[in-house]
Amino acid sequence: MSLLELKNVSKVYGNLRALDSVNLTVEKGEWIAIMGPSGSGKSTMMNIIGCLDTPSSGHVILEGRDITKESNRALTELHRDKIGFVFQQFYLINYLTALENVMVAQYYHSMTDEKEAMAALERVGLKDRAKHLPSQLSGGEQQRVCIARALINSPSLILADEPTGNLDEANENMVIDILKKLHSEGTSLVVVTHDPEVGEVAQRVVKLSHGKIVSDEMNTHS
């Protein structure tokens, strides 16, 4: 059973077809990079994969369950349990420490566990920065906190939206290394990116243009 399947998925906003009959399968443990120019439908696809939005037509099947017609409440439970998000802008809560930011995801998932949250930070190399506020962390460190938050509830899929978009080269490499490590540990990754370097390290690159998949290739460099 595939981890995720998009079957003839379309998303229409007024006269605009943001996604147009897209078919995509994501296998467990796979690392896919979704690339394309602005307005190609990357973010729309990410929202649908992440259960943050529903398609206008077609079916989305996550771990064998058709989630197309699920209620908002059920979708919230789904992305809480199955998906870990990493955002370009990090979206850390700036009055909570790095550790507490990770624990927020635990709090809304089940219950907080400081040791577990600390272990997640350790995985991204931030154990010693756990008590720092986001404003006391570099961009790269903030993104690593964001990754730790995405990992904390052991999701089926990590969904990253331009994870290196706001980072300098050194931090970008650090984040890419963490993604590589997660992938090697068996984590499924879907990364939406403009960044060719991120695309290069992914297993598979799906290119979008005007809401359609124009290429879907295994990456020979990864």
Partner 1 sequence: MFFRMVKGTFVKQWKKMLMLALTIALGASIATAMLSVMLDVGDRINEELKAYGSNIIVVPQSEAVRSKLYDIEGESVETDYLREQRIGELLTIFWANNITDFAPISDTYADFDGSEVKLIGTWYNHHFEFSKKGSVYERDTGIINLRTWWDIVEGQWLDEQSIGSGEYAMVGSLLAREHGIKVGDRISVTTENSSEILTVVGLYDSGDIDDSHIYTTLPVVQRLSNTENLIKKIEVSAITSPTDELAIKAAKNPSLLSGDEYDLWYCTAYVSSICFQIQEAIAEASATAVRQIADSEGKILEKTELLMSLITFMSLVGATLGVSNLVTSSVMERSGEIALLKAVGAQNIQITTLLLTEFLITAVFGALGGYFMGYGFAEIIGRSVFSSSVEMSGMVAFVVTVLIFSITILGSIPAIRIVLKLRPSEVLHGGH
d(CA 107, CA 103): 6
**Residue 189 lies near partner 1 (rule: CB under 8 A):** no
**Residue 107 lies near partner 1 (rule: CB under 8 A):** yes
179: exposed, middle or buried (Cβ count in 10 Å: 0-12, 13-18, 19+): buried
Neighbours of 183 (CB within 10 A): 19
**Residue 104 lies near partner 1 (rule: CB under 8 A):** yes
Block residue for tokens 């398609």: 55
Stretch that binds partner 1, among 26-34, 71-79, 136-144, 201-209 (CB under 8 A): 71-79
Stretch that binds partner 1, among 26-34, 79-87, 164-172, 180-188 (CB under 8 A): 79-87
User: Exactly one of 67, 87, 164, 183 binds partner 1 (CB under 8 A); which one?
Assistant: 87
Residue (of 198, 117, 211) closest to 163 by Cα position:
198
Q: What is the phi/psi pair of residue 157, to 5°?
A: -145, 135
**Residue 188 lies near partner 1 (rule: CB under 8 A):** no
In angstroms, the first-to-last Cα distance of the chain is: 24
| CB half-sphere exposure, 23, CA atoms < 13 A | 2
Q: Which is nearer to partner 1, 2 or 56 (CB)?
A: 56
d(CA 208, CA 66): 23
Q: Which is nearer to partner 1, 31 or 87 (CB)?
A: 87
**Residue 109 lies near partner 1 (rule: CB under 8 A):** yes
Binding map of partner 1 across residues 137-176, x = CB under 8 A, - = no contact: ------------x-----------x---------------
Q: Which is nearer to partner 1, 116 or 200 (CB)?
A: 116
Strand partners, 207: 35, 215
**Residue 115 lies near partner 1 (rule: CB under 8 A):** no
Query: Considering the complex, what minimum distance in angstroms separates the CB of residue 170 from partner 1?
Result: 26
CB 99 within 8 A of CB 117: yes
List of residues contacting partner 1 (CB under 8 A): 11, 13, 16, 18, 39, 41, 43-44, 46-47, 50, 52-53, 73, 76-77, 79-81, 85, 87, 89, 91, 93-96, 100, 103-105, 107-109, 112, 149, 161
